Structure 1
Amino acid sequence: MAINYPFAAPTTLAFEILKVRHGTPVPQELLGLADRPADEHVCVRKLHTYSGAPFYYAGFTCPPPVFETLPGDTARNRKLLAAVLKEPGNHPSGTKPSH
């Protein structure tokens, strides 16, 4: 199972939450030229390790209503993008993927 597959979570893959911050503005450099600044987002910073070795530092920012759809301790146990896309209504097509 590839570690970069968004829905993969082999047992040797672990996540350490470094920070969860509410009310965080989205940095302007992440927005398009026509986008207006967005605020009141949730920012999660986490470190991914594989077989105990750090391999990826992730920053995940999303609106609070999207973050709140995630069950319980999702940020500590799963890849956040995969978790968000698995929740009905969060997927761009509005449907839950079949993965």
Structure 2
Amino acid sequence: MPAVTGDLDLAINNPFAAPKGFVFEILKVRRGTPVSQELLGPDDRPADEYVCVRKLHTYSGEPFCYAEIYVPARVFETLPRDIARNRKLLATVLEEPGNHPSGAKPSH
């Protein structure tokens, strides 16, 4: 574990946090991916198509998280190119106009 675990805790629990030493490695981006109902809430309806981004998160050179992130294709296509290599997808999606539930950008 890294010596500064507070930064790691922040990196894990805050979608907008990106402490120094926090790095994303994109393993694969797969378009046209369906999402199984078990990954959705009981009342959620799946989008027509998703993009699955497989990422490895490292902190101070040590891997700590493997993630498969499913983003509706219509939302993913609006995001800046290569954004998944530079920051958390959740933060990016929430900051895009019209994607945040209140329609406003969240504060950092």
Whether TM-score is above 0.5 comes out as yes
For 1:50, the equivalent position in structure 2 comes to 59
For 2:103, the equivalent position in structure 1 comes to 94
Q: Which runs of 4+ in 1 moved over 6 A?
A: none
What displacement does 1:92 show? 1.4
For 2:4, the equivalent position in structure 1 comes to none
Which ranges of structure 2 fall in alignment gaps of 5 or more residues? Answer: 1-6
For the aligned residues, what is the CA RMSD? 1.6
State how far apart, in whole Å, the 1-side matches of 2:82 and 2:45 are.
Answer: 31
SS in 2 for 1:18: strand
SS in 2 for 1:3: helix
Question: Closer, same or farther in 2 for the Cα pair 1:92/1:37, shift >3 Å?
Answer: closer
Report the TM-score when normalising by structure 1. Answer: 0.88
Q: Among 24, 31, 39, which residue is 2:33 paired with?
A: 24
What displacement does 1:28 show? 2.0
State how far apart, in whole Å, the 1-side matches of 2:42 and 2:107 are.
Answer: 34
State how far apart, in whole Å, the 2-side matches of 1:46 and 1:27 are.
Answer: 19
For 1:10, the equivalent position in structure 2 comes to 19
Percent of paired sites with the same residue: 73
Question: Closer, same or farther in 2 for the Cα pair 1:56/1:38, shift >3 Å?
Answer: same
**Residue correspondences, number:** 99
What displacement does 1:35 show? 4.2
Q: Which amino acid aligns with 1:30?
A: L
Q: Which amino acid aligns with 1:29?
A: E
Report the TM-score when normalising by structure 2. Answer: 0.81
1:69 aligns with 2:78: yes
Question: Closer, same or farther in 2 for the Cα pair 1:36/1:3, shift >3 Å?
Answer: closer
